[in-house]
Amino acid sequence: MTDRFPYSNWGAGAAVLGVILAIGTGVFLSLPAIVIDSRGSENTVGYVEESPKGSGIRTVSDSSTGASIAIQLATVAGFLIASLLIASSWGARSIGEALRRLGVRAFRPSAVKWMAAAVGAYLLFAYIYVLIVGAPEQEDIAESFGPVAVQILLIVFAASISEEVCFRGMLYGGLRERFPRYAAALLSAVVFGGLHAATGISAVPPLIAFGFVLALLYERTGSIVPGIILHAMNNSVALLAQ
């Protein structure tokens, strides 16, 4: 296994295939929860609860909460399974080696300055974007996961880890074998941001910018762990804002 960046050896085509496989795996694993929830909603009347945002009342169903959690876990599993499968199919002989090829590596203390630079660049873009376009709007999916502890587990930790492994470690790593740094970073960021379009179109450009700086951070530090940390911090802020 090489220690020279990029650590991947699967190439751009396999990286794109991996993203498709990740989405397909997540959808497939979600099907039981979707079917069970759809059947339960036909026979169960949810209880009424006051909206925490003061927007009126809403109907809450325990089965819907369970289905939302299951679907999110399936999505996380899809990202991780597909990434590990791609790395393993191209010669990684163990899960540990696969993870190292996906960028799960230790990083030097100097990475902190690059993390600060990434945050600064992203905040600058976000500030300019808000001035020109307005504040991005994104669907609040946190409430569908029920208790706050579950929201933190799924949004702050699980989503951050799985998305960095898939979009930076697997996708950017593979694209970087073929394309220059900035082109590979932009392509991977467009895919990353585009897949979040269902939760709000106006939030896609900032997410593309976020994915772009995280890809560059990965290459600069040689590890996706700094990106996971920043991703978790960003999701924490978003969760608190909601």
pLDDT tens track for 187-234? 999 999 999 998 899 999 999 999 999 999 999 999 999 999 999 999
What pLDDT was estimated at residue 141? 87
Length of the chain: 242
What pLDDT was estimated at residue 62? 54
Longest dimension (CA), the chain: 57
CA–CA distances in Å: residue 132 to residues 137, 196, 227? 14, 21, 27
What pLDDT was estimated at residue 36? 87
CB 90 within 8 A of CB 9: yes
CA–CA distances in Å: residue 33 to residues 26, 65, 93, 210? 12, 10, 33, 31
Q: Is residue 2 part of a domain?
A: no
Report percent pLDDT > 70 for the chain: 89
Residue 149, number of CB atoms within 10 A of its CB: 9
CA–CA distances in Å: residue 96 to residues 11, 28, 77? 20, 26, 17
Determine the Cα–Cα distance for residues 242 and 235; give it in Å rounded to an integer.
Answer: 11
Determine the Cα–Cα distance for residues 221 and 20; give it in Å rounded to an integer.
Answer: 27
Q: Which of 209, 227, 238, 214 is nearest to 128 (CA)?
A: 209
SS3 sequence of 163-182: HHHHHHHHHHHHHHCCCCHH
In the chain, what is the straight-line distance between the N-terminal and C-terminal CA atoms, in Å?
Answer: 43
- Give the model's confidence band at 140: pLDDT under 50 very low, under 70 low, under 90 confident, else very high: confident
For residue range 31-80, list pLDDT tens digits in order.
999 998 887 665 544 433 443 443 333 334 455 999 999 999 999 999 99
Q: Is residue 143 part of a domain?
A: yes
What pLDDT was estimated at residue 208? 98
Q: Is residue 189 part of a domain?
A: yes
Q: Is residue 1 part of a domain?
A: no
Query: What are the CB-based long-range contacts (under 8 Å, 24+) for 193-197?
Result: 195/23, 196/138
**Cα 10–chain centre separation:** 21
Q: Is residue 4 part of a domain?
A: no
Determine the Cα–Cα distance for residues 51 and 71; give it in Å rounded to an integer.
Answer: 23
What pLDDT was estimated at residue 70? 96
In the predicted structure, residue 115 carries a pLDDT above the cut 50: yes
Q: Is residue 6 part of a domain?
A: no
Residue 226 tokens read as 């700094």
Of 11-15, 50-54, 148-152, 172-176, the one with minimum mean pLDDT is 50-54
Q: Is residue 164 part of a domain?
A: yes
Q: How many domains does the chain divide into?
A: 1
Rg (Cα) of the chain, in Å, rounded? 19
CB 163 within 8 A of CB 156: no
Determine the Cα–Cα distance for residues 224 and 6; give it in Å rounded to an integer.
Answer: 12
Q: Which domain holds residue 188?
A: 11-241
What's the whole-number average pLDDT of the chain?
90
